[in-house]
Amino acid sequence: MITIYHNPRCRKSRETLALIQESGVAFEIVEYLKTPLNPEQFRALLHKLQMQPDELLRKGESIWKEKYKGRALGEDEILRAMAEHPKLMERPIVVRGQRAVLGRPPENVHRLLRDPARD
């Protein structure tokens, strides 16, 4: 089973979802703007992505510029900021088992689709 953390208004997220749908693999959609993640869920995703919190931040978002830009934030503070303002999360994120990829570019999802044995 694949999970996509999806924003239907985002072109890259829609493109990634289309690749998953075309693959025929079972999937579920989590619209993270409607169902925000908590800091622990972000921590688990980051582990699967093998990324640091600041690598998942959308620093171009107005909420980031207004509230956080220029501040030295620790990992916990970044995770709380993304939990409070889910628009700050880079998207889409696709998870399969213990692995995850960022769907930027959408073709990254092929890594999860072609090798299910590693789940």
- In the chain, CATH 3.40.30.10 sits at 1-32+91-119
pLDDT tens string 51-88: 999 999 999 999 999 999 999 999 999 999 999 999 99
> Does the pLDDT value for residue 119 go beyond 60?
no
10 part of the active site:
yes
Q: Which CATH architecture has domain 1-32+91-119?
A: 3-Layer(aba) Sandwich (3.40)
Q: State residue 20 phi and psi, 5-degree precision.
A: -65, -45
User: What SS3 state is found at 99?
Assistant: strand
Long-range (24+ apart) CB contacts under 8 A made by 10-16 are: 10/91, 10/92, 12/91, 12/92, 12/103, 12/104, 12/105, 12/106, 13/91, 13/92, 13/103, 15/103, 15/106, 16/92, 16/94, 16/103, 16/106, 16/108, 16/109
Mean pLDDT of all residues belonging to the chain? 95
Q: Which of 10, 19, 44, 113 is catalytic?
A: 10
